[in-house]
Amino acid sequence: MEPMKPMEPMKPMKPMAPPDSSWWPQGLSNPSSSGSQNGVQYAFFADKHRLAVKQGDKVTQYDTGEHRISGVSQAQGGKEGSLRFSSQQGDVDLESLKKVS
């Protein structure tokens, strides 16, 4: 029986890449939270009370008021494909936020 060979040392992990900021509008930087689900990207900018949402090639900004967005999910039932965001005040439907031009 042949003796076991020693394991190779682990290779260092690559550093995490910063979020891709190329899609959100100028004037918004360093999101408090960002993510994506089912092809929809979002970035929340707490200092500006803004939520940027990218669906396909279209980016829309929303005024979040007092909501501090921390996550996204697909709303179940009702309007198909509608987005719901988590905030400190509970879930918020995207349609309930005011669009910013």
pLDDT recorded at residue 21: 61
Which pTM does this prediction carry?
0.71
Enclosing domain of residue 39: 33-96
Residue 76 CB partners (closer than 8 Å, separation 6+)? none
Strand order in the sheet with 71-74: 71-74, 83-87, 90-93
Q: Kindly tell me the number of DSSP H helices and DSSP E strands found in the chain.
A: 0, 8
Total number of domains in the chain: 1
Instruction: Please count the residues of the chain.
Output: 101
Instruction: Tell me, yes or no, whether 90 lies in a domain.
Output: yes
pLDDT in tens, the chain (101 residues): 889 888 888 888 877 666 566 788 888 888 998 888 888 889 999 999 999 999 888 999 999 999 988 888 765 555 445 788 888 989 999 999 999 97
Is residue 37 within 8 A of residue 74, CB to CB? The reply is: yes
**Distance separating alpha carbons of residues 65 and 82, to the nearest angstrom:** 20
